[in-house]
Amino acid sequence: MPIATVNPANGETLKTYEAMDEEELERRLQLAEATFRTYRTTTFAERARLLNRAADLLDEDQREIGRVMTTEMGKPVKQARAEAAKCARAMRWYAEHAAELLADEEPAAADVKDSGGARALVRYRPLGPVLAVIPWNFPLWQVVRFAAPALMAGNVGLLKHASNVPQTALYLEDLFHRAGFTEGCFQTLLVGSGAIDDILRDERVKAATLTGSEPAGRAVASTAGEMIKKTVLELGGSDPYVVMPSADVDRAARTAVTARVQNNGQSCIAAKRFIVHTDVYDAFTERFVAGMAALKVGDPLAEETEVGPLASEQGRSDLEELVDDARRGGAAVLCGGERPDGPGWYYPPTVLAGITRQMRIHREEAFGPVATLYRAADLDEAVLIANDSPFGLSSNVWTQDEAEVDRFVRDLEAGGVYVNGMTASHPGFPFGGVKRSGYGRELSGHGIREFCNITTVWHGA
């Protein structure tokens, strides 16, 4: 895949880049290793000062970088600006909390005494250069949620971004440099996916994080396992959105529309499978379908646009294949379902009902504005349908019954359960999944500790 900005609204190639050669890649790896030796000794206060400065610059650049993201991958420009603002807030959150999250811990005095020691502590030390393999769908946020905690922990970052968002990738390197981080603290590697394996095998790279597809996760995890290097994987999702009889159906349906089409439906944590109790199925379906059909699809740079184009022609083709397979299997298309005429990689908000286990869309992730509806007879069937997926990223539950909430929290196979609201990532909450959605956690204290050497320090009596 070429490293290029291709406008998904019209298919026009705007800018292309040459991949870094081996000499330049080697220079950058050497720089990362050398920089880490000194950066690891900086104080939390100094790191926080630099990260807060990066947040200030990002706020200043919000409109400009928002247009760049929209032009590269098609998200509505209002959502792009909101993503930039969210990144700045996350930077400030880690700048404020990192010292506390990574403070030395003292084991229980009884355990120290029992060990024959006089005192002991647990210290969190940085690992070194960390490789981040990042997709295009949230081209700022998915980098920052790795970079902010990694830099605050004293690590340095190497970014292999998706090849269709090179301008955003280069902007991030420049942002951290302008903020005052030395050049080797955060570097963008303009290379193709074929270079990842060799980079990960390099002894100077100590760990890796990947957000992306299941095949990409398998490849990185396999190499990292062979090299015995730590990885965090955030892969696909097909999140359930369960609506029970006690729910506020109007609010659940309105929120469901946003939960499905955020980022043009191209979000791992977007709700995708809508599992509705039979008592409120008809009422929810009527409101949800009407909301999906009313969305304004158009130029992502227009302020009024709610759904823009998919990021690539291949992405649209993949989505069409899932819809067509479901249609052939007997699914009902309640709205959308047909590619519009004209330029760009647009696909309409679509709702499918009558889904069966034999349809591909039941077990594969639909990465675009396509929702599937399921009718559940009771709570047990709702849980069964929700868990009947290879993925387990997050989940959404709508109910006013606390006993039902307890059941869903206990039984849903997911990294998150969001009650009476839609899934959203926040720096204060751990983020990640189970099953084929990956392992490890980003964000919160759990995320910042993923790439730390958790060190026991023991002193004899």
- DSSP letters of 140-153? THHHHHHHHHHHHH
| Active-site entry in 33, 72, 173, 234 | 234
Q: How far apart are CA 65 and CA 63, in angstroms?
A: 6
In the chain, count H helices and then E strands.
Answer: 16, 19
Is 234 an annotated catalytic residue? yes
DSSP 8-class letter at 389: S
Residues 6+ apart with CB under 8 A from 22: none
Residues 6+ apart with CB under 8 A from 377: 277, 278
| 27-44 per-residue burial string, b: 16 or more CB within 10 A, e: under 16 | ebbebbbebbeebeebeb
Q: How far apart are CA 142 and CA 162, in angstroms?
A: 11
Torsion on CA atoms 40, 45, 51, 53, rounded to nearest 10: -130
8 A C-beta contact, residue 265 and residue 300: no
Q: In the structure encoding, which two tokens stand for residue 185, read together?
A: 């603290």
165 CB-contact burial (10 Å; exposed 0-12 / middle 13-18 / buried 19+): buried
Q: Residue with structure tokens 């740079």?
A: 301
**What is the helix, strand, coil percentage profile of the chain, to 5?**
45, 20, 35
| Active-site entry in 185, 268, 335, 452 | 268
Task: Name the amino acid, one letter, at 396.
Answer: N
Q: Residues with catalytic annotation?
A: 234, 268
